[in-house]
Copies of this chain bind each other. A is one copy, B any other.
């Protein structure tokens, strides 16, 4: 990079002190109009830009928000990022995005790097592996250091900080109710292993809806997907049962279920209804299009960044972590409809 122009060089070149230059560039009344004009003209001509690092060091704040996501090639997380970015930008912040790739180790490392003063606060969705390990020391350390932290979607109670989540139980309930109301009797649940708490919560909603309708929950109708294995093969197993409804906790699972149903010659939604989660492009463009629970990722991102910045800017004060619950919506499309 070429020799950058600094306040010092301007000062030397114009035979004034750095304080004068600094003040002149801020249009301070302390400096005579004449001097100000001279300095400003010079700075302008040479395209002077104040060095951000110096300012950050002096002000002890970076105006940067760190974001750590488990993955990104996923409609939900993409939209959350958009929401975070928009909200941050509006308040003059930038975002620094990192990925844990669902790995505990990478999460720990990334957290360490970012908490060295590079960011004013963090927004995180916890990695799968971490949820499985139940090892949250790195987060607890962060909280102890009083670095502003907001968790979203994948959160745990052990960590005392602000949280933004969807009403997963309610959403699971809503989805299952919808299928029941369409007259479905044998509804399969395609979910994550139980340590992924969003999966567990949606399952609770599913079970609640079934119990309410006096239907027994049947373990044989539930598949917990191991993402390291072939997803489709795992789902195929549940299709050996005589099911007429599928509730999948994300759109990939839903799309796979739909493909299997088609291969089996089941007509959708006449013989089998399918409902997914995450209102992404797959659900929208598949045929038939898939009914889903819209998670409103954009809103989640906005909310998360809003509470984070609030925490950053009016620190101190009595701290009582907030939990914001975003309501989810049922978006009815072609893959479900009354069977009667």
The smallest C-beta distance from A144 to any residue of chain B, in angstroms, reads 8
Interface majority SS on A: helix, strand, loop or mixed?
A: mixed
Bound complex: CA A75 to CA B94 (Å): 23
Query: Chain B nearest CB: distance from A300 CB in Å?
Result: 14
Identify A49's interface contact among B2, B52, B116, CB under 8 A.
B116
A262 at the binding interface (Cβ < 8 Å): yes
Stretch at the interface among A26-34, A237-245, A281-289: A281-289
Copy total for this chain: 2
Q: Is A25 an interface residue (CB 8 A)?
A: no
CB nearest neighbor in B for A256: B285
Selected interface stretch from A95-103, A124-132, A197-205, A320-328? A95-103
A97 B99 Cβ-Cβ under 8 A: no
Give Cα A255 to B52, complex, Å.
45
CA–CA, A280 and B284, complex, Å: 14
A148 at the interface (CB under 8 A from B): yes
Interchain CA distance A49-B259 in the complex, whole Å: 52
Q: Check if A39 is an interface residue, CB within 8 A of chain B.
A: no
Q: Which residues of B contact A94 (CB under 8 A)?
A: 96, 98, 113-114, 118
How long is the Cα–Cα vector from A262 to B64 in the complex, in angstroms? 48
Q: Give how many A residues have a beta carbon under 8 Å from the other chain's beta carbons.
A: 54
- Chain B interface: which of A8-16, A77-85, A171-179, A186-194? A77-85
Assembled-state Cα–Cα distance A82/B98 (Å):
9
A75 to B114: give the CA distance in the assembly, Å: 27
* Given A78-B72, A96-B64, A96-B94, also A116-B51 (CB < 8 A): yes
A228 located at the interface, meaning its Cβ lies under 8 Å from any Cβ of chain B in the complex: no
Task: Give the residues in chain B near A148, CB-CB below 8 Å.
Answer: 1
- Interface membership of A62, Cβ < 8 A: yes
Closest CB-CB distance, A26 to chain B, in whole Å? 16
Q: Across chains A and B, which 8 residue pairs bring their CB atoms closest together, nearest first?
A: A255-B285, A2-B146, A52-B116, A97-B97, A52-B117, A51-B117, A53-B57, A73-B78
30 contacts between A and B (CB under 8 A): A1-B145, A1-B147, A1-B148, A1-B315, A2-B146, A4-B117, A49-B112, A49-B116, A51-B57, A51-B116, A52-B118, A54-B57, A54-B117, A64-B96, A72-B82, A73-B75, A73-B78, A73-B281, A74-B78, A85-B97, A94-B113, A94-B114, A96-B97, A97-B97, A252-B285, A255-B281, A259-B285, A282-B285, A282-B286, A287-B287
